[in-house]
């Protein structure tokens, strides 16, 4: 397999990566495979040490599962290399901290004190309610200095007040320029390419506004259920798990004005303007601008699957597994342009994409009996990463002007020879080198939580109920239509 070609070949500071929640599902699936690829790149040769901090898992059990996780990753990448895994294990130092107290943290301190000249990167892959306690103990044990960084997994809190409480606890130990609030969707190649697509192509930047765009749709569809995340998911649901961070961050990149420079402060300021311009919810929102649902039994790929309640082994839950919203941004660029945000579990297929639907031409001079379909820009985020521009083209042959939509495609896998680094890989590299551009500021999260709290409040006031949908469908059928592989909310 070809190695990743990194644009920046700068020297990276030697780093200790300390992963709290080091035996969690996220760490095995995402964090360790990303660190493995970074280690393989050679850019941090002899300059990276990894400290998984676990509470209960025994060392052998941890290493066995880590080996399985890396083998699965390599199989996916078509690059089985057991020797690489054995070598990688040489930089992994298992740390067991059963209880959050000073005595337990002395073990970690003795290990980190032995690697002078390394920056300490603390990765909090735990429930956010533990963030403050971990930060307090790290500070008390003098394990934080000016070079230290902390990485926070989402969601941070479950509403504005809890976010602010947790954020203040972290801020008592780390400065804002040391905090990296991670959203892996911002590390996806196609999401980052939005910046280049929009701001370096005259064709799109001049038409990227309410005069030329009819609506914008952002969809994250998953065919899986809650799987092993049942306890976590039943405290968050689709709104907090997906909309509050992933979908809103994508919305910001799609809708923001050009930053004056490509740096963290400028990009974050423009994103914040979008979040502050989001139209507030009112008493009509639950009825005509939002849908919430929960999956029941059904079939995925011709296999019978259970309901959400069966998956979490409860008789009742008000948690939603599907959300669809129509939202508006009240500024000059986007006034009255609907943005459709949709996400759900156990849907018919897995895909994530952004669809820019352009307005139709004013007059059809060709064939009044045949509708002129709108141009579309489709930015597919997963499972494959590609960009499509859908335009009308004449069908060859005699018989007058007959036309059909044809896609001009940029497929990243086909267009670039090198393996594309995954999102976590790219973001961890940015953390190591101190680039916060693709990470959320506290001000962004305050604005997004404030907006989300407003929606939840109106749901509660109106006693908004989940609408049931079959696993393997596209959500609540009488509310959502599937049209040309894209969802539309009935108006």
| Extents of the domains making up the chain | 15-181, 186-422+443-489
The SS3 assignment for 398 reads coil
- Report mean pLDDT in 10-residue bins for the chain, 491 residues: 46 91 94 93 88 95 95 74 86 93 92 89 95 96 96 93 97 97 90 87 90 95 88 90 94 95 93 96 83 94 93 91 95 95 94 92 73 86 85 75 75 61 91 94 96 94 92 79 49 40
Q: Which residues are catalytic?
A: 246
Nearest Cα neighbor of 486 from 221, 238, 213, 288 is 221
Gap between the Cα atoms of 55 and 99, Å rounded? 7
186-422+443-489 domain in CATH 1.10.760.10? no
Q: What pLDDT sits at residue 352?
A: 92
Q: Report domain 15-181's class.
A: alpha beta
- Give me the pLDDT at residue 35, please: 95
pLDDT, position 77:
66
DSSP per residue, 233-289: HHHHHHIIIIIIIIIHHHHHHHHPPPPSSSSHHHHHHHHHHHHHHBPPP-TTHHHHT
Q: Do domains 15-181 and 186-422+443-489 have the same CATH topology?
A: no
Q: What is the pLDDT of residue 1?
A: 36
Q: Can you count the helices (H) and strands (E) in the chain?
A: 17, 19
Contact 479, 489 (CB under 8 A): yes
Contact 331, 276 (CB under 8 A): no
Q: How far apart are the first and last CA of the chain?
A: 49
Q: Is the peptide bond before 383 cis (omega within 30 degrees of 0)?
A: yes
The CA distance from 276 to 279, in Å, is 8
């Amino acid at each position: 397999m070809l190695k990743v070609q990194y644009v920046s070949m700068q020297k990276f500071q030697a780093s200790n990566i300390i992963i709290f929640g080091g035996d969690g599902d996220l760490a095995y699936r995402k964090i360790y495979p990303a660190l493995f690829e970074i280690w393989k790149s050679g850019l941090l040769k002899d300059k990276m040490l990894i400290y998984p901090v676990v509470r209960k898992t025994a060392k052998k059990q941890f290493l066995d599962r880590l080996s399985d996780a890396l083998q699965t990753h390599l199989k996916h990448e078509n690059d089985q290399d057991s020797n690489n895994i054995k070598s990688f294990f040489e930089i992994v130092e298992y740390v067991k901290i059963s209880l959050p107290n000073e005595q337990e943290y002395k073990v970690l301190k003795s290990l980190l004190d032995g690697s002078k000249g390394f920056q300490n990167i603390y990765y909090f892959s735990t429930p956010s309610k533990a963030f403050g306690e971990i930060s307090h103990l790290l500070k008390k044990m003098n394990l934080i200095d000016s070079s230290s960084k902390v990485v926070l997994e989402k969601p941070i809190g479950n509403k504005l007040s809890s976010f602010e409480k947790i954020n203040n606890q972290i801020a008592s130990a780390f400065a804002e320029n040391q905090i990296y609030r991670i959203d892996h969707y911002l590390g996806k190649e196609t999401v980052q390419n939005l910046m280049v697509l929009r701001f370096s192509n005259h064709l799109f930047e001049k038409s990227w506004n309410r005069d030329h765009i009819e609506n914008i749709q952002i969809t994250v569809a998953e065919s899986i259920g809650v799987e092993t995340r049942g306890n976590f998911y039943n405290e968050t649901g689709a709104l907090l798990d997906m909309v509050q961070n992933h979908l809103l961050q994508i919305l910001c990149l799609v809708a923001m004005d050009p930053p004056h420079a490509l740096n963290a402060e400028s990009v974050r300021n423009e994103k914040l303007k979008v979040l502050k311009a989001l139209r507030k919810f009112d008493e009509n929102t639950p009825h005509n601008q939002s849908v919430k649902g929960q999956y029941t039994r059904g079939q995925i790929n011709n296999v019978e699957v259970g309901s959400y309640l069966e998956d979490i082994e409860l008789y009742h839950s008000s948690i939603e597994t599907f959300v669809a919203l129509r939202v508006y941004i009240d500024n000059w660029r986007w006034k009255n342009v609907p943005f459709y945000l949709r996400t759900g579990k156990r849907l018919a297929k897995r895909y994530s994409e952004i669809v820019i639907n352009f307005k139709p031409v004013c007059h059809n001079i060709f064939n009044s009996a045949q509708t002129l379909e709108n141009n579309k820009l489709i930015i597919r985020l997963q499972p494959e990463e590609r960009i499509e521009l859908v335009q009308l083209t004449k069908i060859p042959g005699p018989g007058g002007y007959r036309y059909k939509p044809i896609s001009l495609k940029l497929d990243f896998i086909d267009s670039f020879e090198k393996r594309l680094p995954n999102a976590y890989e790219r973001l961890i590299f940015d953390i190591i080198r101190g680039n916060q551009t693709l990470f959320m500021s506290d001000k962004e999260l305050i604005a997004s939580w404030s907006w989300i709290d407003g929606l939840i409040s109106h749901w509660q006031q109106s006693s908004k109920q989940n609408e049931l949908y079959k696993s393997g469908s596209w959500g609540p059928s009488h509310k959502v239509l599937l049209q040309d592989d894209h969802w539309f909310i009935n108006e």
